C-alpha cells in the first residue's frame, strides 16, 4: 500500500542556504536534492553516476550543481568541497548520504574488500565533515546530517560490513556533535528503515520481502525516499536549532 503524496513543509530559513548532499544522484539522495531545490536552497551534490546525476539536474532545470566524485578518494572529496564553496559560498548544510549496501557474506570478505566497504560507507562521512567545518564555524554554525540505517539494530544477514559501518555512523555523530557544538555546528543522524528506492525494487524487493517489512513495522505503508528527505529538511532548518547529537529513526515503527 502506498501513501498519497503529501506536500512538503516550507522552511523559510532554508531559502538560499548552501547545501551539499553526497550520493545525490539517485535513491534517497535524489529525493533530498529535489526537496532542497523546492525550498529554494542553493544545492550541490556529489555522485559517481554521471548519467543519473545529469538526468536529475536536467529535470530540475539545471538548479543543482553536480560534481562527479568518487568519495573513496579523499583528495577528490576535498577538492569537490572547495569547488562548491567557490561556486556557491560556504556550505551551511552537509548531508552525508552516499553509501552502498551490496550484499556480502562473511567468509568471502578479504581485508581489501573490508577496507573498501568502510571507505564507501563510513570514512567519507568524517572527511566531508572535516572539510566543511571551517566554513561553518566562520559563518556562525551549520548542520551536518548523517544518514545511517537500522540494519545494525536488526542484525540483517549478508551485510556485515555495511551494518558495522552504519553502527559507526551513530558513534561518529555523537562524537562530532560534542566536538563541533561549541562552534554551533549541529550533528545528527537519521536511521531509515527499509526504503523503497528504485534500486531496492530492481535488485531485492519481492512480494515476500515487502510482506516481511510490513509485518515488522507498526505502520502499514512502505517507506518512500521522500519520508527521509522530510526529516532531513527539518534537521537542516532553524526549526531544529537545539537538536544535536541525536539519532532520528524513520522506520515505520520497525525498531
User: Which residues, in sequence order, are bridge partners of residue 188?
Assistant: 145
In degrees and rounded to multiples of 5, residue 179 shows phi and psi of -70, -35
Distance CA 68, CA 215 (A): 39
Nearest to 193 by CA among 160, 161, 215, 168: 215
162 is catalytic: yes
Tell me which of 11, 125, 162, 194 is the catalytic residue: 162
Cβ partners under 8 Å of residue 174, min gap 6: 187, 245
Beta strands in 11-90 (DSSP E): 18-22, 42-47, 65-68
Distance CA 184, CA 39 (A): 23
Residues annotated as part of the active site: 162
Amino acid at each position: 500500500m502506498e501513501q498519497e503524496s503529501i506536500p512538503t513543509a516550507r522552511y523559510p530559513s532554508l531559502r538560499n542556504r548552501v547545501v551539499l548532499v553526497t550520493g545525490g544522484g539517485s535513491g534517497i539522495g535524489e529525493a533530498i536534492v529535489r526537496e532542497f531545490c523546492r525550498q529554494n536552497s542553493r544545492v550541490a551534490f556529489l555522485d559517481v553516476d554521471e548519467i543519473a546525476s545529469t538526468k536529475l539536474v536536467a529535470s530540475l532545470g539545471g538548479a543543482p550543481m553536480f560534481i562527479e566524485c568518487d568519495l573513496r578518494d579523499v583528495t577528490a572529496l576535498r577538492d569537490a568541497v572547495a569547488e562548491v564553496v567557490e561556486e556557491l559560498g560556504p556550505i551551511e548544510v552537509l548531508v552525508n548520504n552516499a553509501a552502498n549496501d551490496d550484499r556480502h557474506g562473511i567468509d568471502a570478505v578479504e581485508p581489501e574488500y573490508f577496507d573498501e566497504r568502510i571507505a564507501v560507507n563510513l570514512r567519507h562521512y568524517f572527511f566531508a565533515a572535516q572539510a566543511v567545518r571551517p566554513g561553518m564555524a566562520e559563518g556562525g554554525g551549520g548542520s551536518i546530517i548523517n544518514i545511517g540505517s537500522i540494519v545494525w539494530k536488526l542484525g540483517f544477514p549478508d551485510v556485515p560490513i555495511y551494518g558495522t559501518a552504519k553502527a559507526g555512523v551513530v558513534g561518529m555523530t555523537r562524537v562530532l556533535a560534542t566536538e563541533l557544538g561549541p562552534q554551533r555546528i549541529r550533528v545528527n543522524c537519521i536511521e531509515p528503515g527499509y526504503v523503497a528506492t528504485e534500486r531496492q525494487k530492481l535488485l531485492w524487493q519481492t512480494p515476500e520481502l515487502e510482506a516481511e517489512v510490513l509485518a515488522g513495522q507498526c505502520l502499514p505503508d512502505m517507506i518512500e525516499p521522500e519520508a527521509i528527505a522530510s526529516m532531513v529538511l527539518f534537521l537542516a532548518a532553524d526549526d531544529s536549532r537545539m537538536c544535536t547529537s541525536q539519532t532520528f529513526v524513520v522506520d515505520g515503527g520497525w525498531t
